[in-house]
């Protein structure tokens, strides 16, 4: 009886933890969603209640009609997608070489990849600002794509190299025995097997590039290439001491919806890529 009582207490504690943790994590998200349905007058008055007094969807209509915001959405998706595609294309053969070949400095290259990805972006802003102004890349898509690749490319290499190590070497040797060249074995055998890892690397790099703020706020001056994180900082409203919190919350919800959809649609591939690359090594 005592053992059953202890097991019952342990289960109740586990269930309390399982409920408390999601509630604690999702509470800010729920507050932002609730705030997006409040009127500007209600938020300006410092409304403390969770649910809006007067439920309204006018904020969504105003945000979607804002040309600067829609342009920022296009910029965010386009710049992040191009940086992701280039990073994955260059990282795939590089990660394969690191996983399969033996050369001097291999461990140094692999250990430097995450270090470069985590390098403080603020220290690059000053030199990049002067260089981009000189080369004519300031306030352009390439002016953001190139520095974005400084952290998306190492991240993709580090993720893919761990995944390529899990693919049996015999698969490639069997293809070569059947008459395939090294490139054909890599292209037709290894890359399809590494598809979950490639997809995982693409998702991670896309989210990193899409959420970047420091570079885009420093290397742009107009909405022609400014992305959403930077554009949202210009939502100041007519009163600088009372920002339009409802519009900021609405923009945050609109920006977050595509991320949630992508994760829900491809969560199995993301989990498969992460777990497959973390089994060994």
Which residues are CB-neighbours of 34 under 8 A, at least 6 positions away?
Answer: 50, 51, 52
pLDDT above 70 covers a percentage of the chain that reads: 88
pLDDT above 90 covers a percentage of the chain that reads: 19
Residue 37: CA count within 13 A, CB half-sphere: 12
Confidence label for 1 from pLDDT (cuts 50, 70 and 90): very low
Of 54, 102, 2, the C-alpha closest to 246 is 54
For the chain, what is the domain count?
2
Q: Could you report the per-residue pLDDT of 89-140, keeping only the tens digit for each?
A: 999 988 888 877 777 777 777 777 777 777 788 888 888 999 999 999 999 9
Residue 220 has pLDDT above 50, yes or no: yes
- Looking at residue 280, its pLDDT comes to 46
Confidence label for 238 from pLDDT (cuts 50, 70 and 90): low
Residue 83 has pLDDT above 90, yes or no: yes
Residue 44 has pLDDT above 80, yes or no: no
Q: Could you report the per-residue pLDDT of 262-276, keeping only the tens digit for each?
A: 777 777 766 665 555
**Lowest-confidence region among 16-20, 32-36, 91-95, 211-215:** 16-20
Work out the average pLDDT over 47-60. 80
- Looking at residue 112, its pLDDT comes to 76
In this structure, the answer to whether residues 77 and 194 fall within a common structural domain is yes
In this structure, the answer to whether residues 75 and 29 fall within a common structural domain is no
- Its domain, for residue 8, covers 2-36
Higher pLDDT: 84 or 164? It is 84
- Looking at residue 279, its pLDDT comes to 45
Name the range with the highest mean pLDDT among 22-26, 170-174, 175-179. Answer: 22-26
| Average pLDDT of the chain to the nearest whole number | 81
- Does any domain span residue 49? no
- Looking at residue 103, its pLDDT comes to 75
- Whole-angstrom Cα distance, residue 267 to residue 265? 6
Higher pLDDT: 85 or 49? It is 85
In this structure, the answer to whether residues 72 and 173 fall within a common structural domain is yes
42-52 burial code (b ≥16 CB/10 A, e <16): bbbeebeeeeb
In this structure, the answer to whether residues 149 and 21 fall within a common structural domain is no
In this structure, what CATH number is given to the domain that contains residue 249? Answer: 1.10.3720.10
- Does any domain span residue 56? no
Q: Could you report the per-residue pLDDT of 256-265, keeping only the tens digit for each?
A: 888 888 777 7
In this structure, the answer to whether residues 16 and 82 fall within a common structural domain is no
Confidence label for 278 from pLDDT (cuts 50, 70 and 90): very low
**DSSP 8-state class, residue 240:** T
In this structure, the answer to whether residues 195 and 118 fall within a common structural domain is yes
User: In angstroms, what CA-CA distances link 110 with 97, 162, 203, 246?
Assistant: 11, 10, 20, 45
**Lowest-confidence region among 37-46, 203-212, 243-252:** 37-46
In this structure, the answer to whether residues 13 and 88 fall within a common structural domain is no
DSSP 95-155: HHHHHH---TTHHHHHHHHHHHHTS-THHHHHHHHHHHHHHT-TTSHHHHHHHHHHHHHHH
In this structure, the answer to whether residues 77 and 15 fall within a common structural domain is no
- Looking at residue 47, its pLDDT comes to 63
- Does any domain span residue 250? yes
Contact between 188 and 180 under an 8 Å Cβ cutoff? The reply is yes
């Amino acid at each position: 009886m005592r053992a059953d009582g202890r097991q019952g207490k342990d289960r109740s504690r586990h269930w309390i933890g399982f409920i408390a943790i999601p509630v604690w994590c999702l509470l800010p998200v729920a507050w932002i969603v609730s705030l997006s349905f409040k009127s500007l007058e209600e938020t300006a008055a410092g409304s403390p209640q969770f649910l809006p007094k007067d439920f309204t969807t006018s904020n969504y209509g105003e945000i979607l009609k804002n040309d600067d915001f829609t342009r920022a959405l296009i910029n965010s998706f386009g710049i992040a997608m191009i940086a992701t595609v280039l990073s994955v294309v260059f990282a795939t053969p590089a990660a394969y070489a690191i996983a399969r070949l033996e050369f001097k400095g291999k461990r140094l290259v692999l250990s430097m990849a995450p270090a470069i990805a985590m390098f403080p972006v603020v220290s690059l802003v000053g030199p990049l600002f002067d260089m981009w102004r000189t080369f004519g890349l300031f306030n352009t898509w390439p002016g953001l794509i190139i520095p974005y690749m400084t952290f998306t490319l190492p991240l993709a290499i580090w993720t893919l190299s761990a995944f390529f190590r899990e693919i049996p070497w015999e698969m490639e040797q069997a293809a070569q025995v059947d008459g395939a060249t090294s490139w054909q074995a890599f292209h037709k055998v290894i890359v399809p097997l590494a598809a979950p890892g490639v997809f995982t690397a693409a998702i991670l790099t896309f989210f990193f590039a899409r959420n970047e703020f420091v570079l885009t706020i420093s290397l742009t001056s107009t909405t022609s290439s400014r992305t959403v994180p930077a554009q949202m900082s210009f939502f100041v409203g007519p009163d600088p001491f009372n920002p339009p919190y409802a519009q900021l919350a609405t923009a945050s919800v609109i920006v977050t919806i595509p991320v949630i959809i992508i994760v829900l649609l491809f969560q199995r591939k993301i989990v498969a890529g992460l777990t497959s690359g973390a089994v060994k090594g």
